[in-house]
Structure 1
Amino acid sequence: MGDWQRIAGGVTAAKGYRAAGIAAGLKASGAPDLALIVSDVPAIAAGVFTTNHLCAAPVAYCRQRLQTKGTAQAILCNSGQANAATGEQGWQAVLAQAQMVATALGLSPEMVLVASTGVIGQPIPLEKMRQALPTLTAQLSYEGGDPAARAIMTTDLVPKQIALETLWEGQPIRIGGIAKGSGMIHPQMATMLAFITCDAAVAPHLWQEMLQRACDRSFNQITVDGDTSTNDSVIALANGQSRTPAITEPGAAATRLEEMLTAVCVHLAKAIARDGEGATCLIEVQVSGASDDAAARQVARTIASSMLVKSAIYGRDPNWGRIAAAAGRAGVPFDAANLAISLGGIPMMRHGQPLAFDCAAAHTYLLNQAAANTDSAGQQSIDHPIVIEVSIGNGQGRGVAWGCDLSYDYVKINAEYTT
């Protein structure tokens, strides 16, 4: 862990942020479905969004907003309806949502960002949202991170949040975040949302660059099922309320802040992978020996997303041949004579040759690590992943990817998603 500590609060841990989450009746289940995050002052805003060409109206809106004005003060997110593939009606709904929040908070509409998650093709129930906004804004609180985290969930089983704090020139700097995601998860953004708050003062171009690099090492390194959705968004605000010196150029302060931002993103990404639909365990693929980090990350992603590897892990079957095959089709050239594979520290292949190994011990490792993915209180844990180590050569490139096993329940969940 870096030079920081974990603290409570999620998106409201950083100074000057309030949040709320309520049930607005957008979901038939009656579960919380509307969240709002607000900075006390205008904040520098950065964003990374889906690469799917059929992007949802709120994604198009936020992209446009951040390109023309790199500041924001509020983020509204609904769950239940994706507002994707909804045409002009969807675009007008986003404009209406921004106006509603702006009116309620006394802001300009251009200071409001909007996100949605849920069923594609479902329009936003604007009247229900309009009726719920007074309650939502009344519940804004500096302790409202947890309700907000719960209100953005869809098929998630658990809320996902974290906050970290470090000291810079004797003053605390904090970064907090919440995320949702369980299915339609694949590199290059997936069906996931993440909202990050920071109380440092950062130059806009630096903050955007930091967020992109952090996403490349976290959210773009997770996979559940190979699907990239229409609504994926990571939005990060930095409001300067820590009163620490502004970070305007690369250097020690910028590096430290980016490392902490990356740690927040990695934690949330791993939590998404662990909570994959129907998953029983978290898988971590560590690749070394590549020509550069990008190549190593590509190999790691390919292995983590292999349906055969995921199925073997679900069956607690140490079938390293599937790992080797996935590495070989990753699109990264390497000498097969250099390939090495270990599972949980148990060597299975060296110098491109299979090794005799204790299959029963490897099977027991998979069983034990899968069991450790649920803690003593029955909650999901990301602290004990099943670790696959792969080396493809002698290069300095290293990369990590995270995924989950593929269970029968994944098919059941998605077969019944809209019915």
Structure 2
Amino acid sequence: MPHPTPEPSGLEWIEGGHVTTPAGFVAGGTYAGIKTYGDDPRLDVGILGGTGPLTVAGIFTKNAVTGVSVTWDKSVLAERRLVRGLVCNSGNANTVTGAQGERDCARIAALAAARLGCDARDVLVASTGVIGRLLPMEKVERGLSEVALAADGGLRFARAIMTTDTHEKQAAARITAGGRTYIVAMSGWIIPAPLAQPPTV
């Protein structure tokens, strides 16, 4: 993906870098049959985990209507700043789904936690896609059991959180500061403007 120029001093982009480029992360993604659109490989369930506790922070939408996963993540971060991972799905946002959506979100966190060897409240959840429909939990559960976690699984994770994106969004860079070198990475999705009415952050 293109990067802004000129580059900041001490920064080096890593060719082919992704969210598991830094040491201590594993990830993976698979197709569970949730998402009915997009190009192949049409992955729609992913897990990102750390080999140890991860320090986290969150920036959330300011929209009046938010998904169940946003509510879950806010409550997790209100309790703690260390988690073990993130589970995501695309194709269904689990938004405006009531009490059943809340139960489904908790179940997804618990299933991902079992894969990562931690408690459900140590897992953040991200769901994106169509609103107003219940998650097809049988497909989600099967998909989470099939995700192969690996140190080179960042690309599959990035594809698993794509909605209407035409390609995965990911990058990694090596930064030198204070005599030490760090690797930072990101993976995410971009929501088209008509789907993300302001105010959002």
TM-score by length of structure 2 reads 0.87
- Deviation, 1:116, is 0.4
**Residue of structure 1 in register with 2:31 after alignment:** 23
Q: Does 1:75 align with 2:64?
A: no
- Deviation, 1:21, is 1.4
- If asked which structure has higher relative contact order (CA below 8 Å, sep 6+), I would say 2
1:10/1:162 contact within 8 Å kept? yes
Question: CA offsets per residue over residues 19-45 of structure 1, 9 Å max, x none?
Answer: 111111111347211111101101111
User: For 1:163-242, what aligned pairs fall within 5 Å after superposition?
Assistant: 163-168=172-177, 170-184=179-193, 191=196, 227-228=197-198
Higher helix share: 1
Q: Does 1:161 align with 2:145?
A: no
User: For 1:369-408, what aligned pairs fall within 5 Å after superposition?
Assistant: none
Provide the C-alpha distance between the structure 2 equivalents of 1:228 and 1:145, rounded to a whole number of angstroms.
30
Provide the C-alpha distance between the structure 2 equivalents of 1:171 and 1:15, rounded to a whole number of angstroms.
15
**Residue of structure 2 in register with 1:11 after alignment:** 19
User: For 1:15-414, what aligned pairs fall within 5 Å after superposition?
Assistant: 15-29=23-37, 31-136=42-147, 139-168=148-177, 170-184=179-193, 191=196, 227-228=197-198
SS of equivalent residue, structure 1 residue 124: coil
Question: CA offsets per residue over residues 298-332 of structure 1, 9 Å max, x none?
Answer: xxxxxxxxxxxxxxxxxxxxxxxxxxxxxxxxxxx
SS of equivalent residue, structure 2 residue 114: helix
SS of equivalent residue, structure 1 residue 48: coil
Provide the C-alpha distance between the structure 1 equivalents of 2:83 and 2:17, rounded to a whole number of angstroms.
21
- Deviation, 1:172, is 2.5
Q: Which ranges of structure 2 fall in alignment gaps of 5 or more residues?
A: 1-6
**Residue of structure 2 in register with 1:217 after alignment:** none
Provide the C-alpha distance between the structure 2 equivalents of 1:173 and 1:87, rounded to a whole number of angstroms.
42
Counterpart amino acid of residue 19 in structure 1:
A
Counterpart amino acid of residue 151 in structure 2:
Y
Report the CA distance shift for 1:118/1:9 in structure 2 as closer, same or farther (over 3 A): same
SS of equivalent residue, structure 1 residue 75: strand
TM-score by length of structure 1 reads 0.43
- Deviation, 1:134, is 2.3
Provide the C-alpha distance between the structure 1 equivalents of 2:198 and 2:124, rounded to a whole number of angstroms.
22
- Deviation, 1:122, is 1.7
Q: Work out the percentage of aligned pairs sharing the same amino acid.
A: 33
Counterpart amino acid of residue 165 in structure 1:
R
Runs of 4 or more, structure 1, over 3 Å off, are 168-171
Q: Which ranges of structure 1 fall in alignment gaps of 5 or more residues?
A: 192-226, 234-419
**Residue of structure 1 in register with 2:3 after alignment:** none
Size of the aligned set, in residue pairs, is 190
2:49/2:116 contact within 8 Å kept? no
- Deviation, 1:228, is 4.2
Provide the C-alpha distance between the structure 2 equivalents of 1:167 and 1:184, rounded to a whole number of angstroms.
35
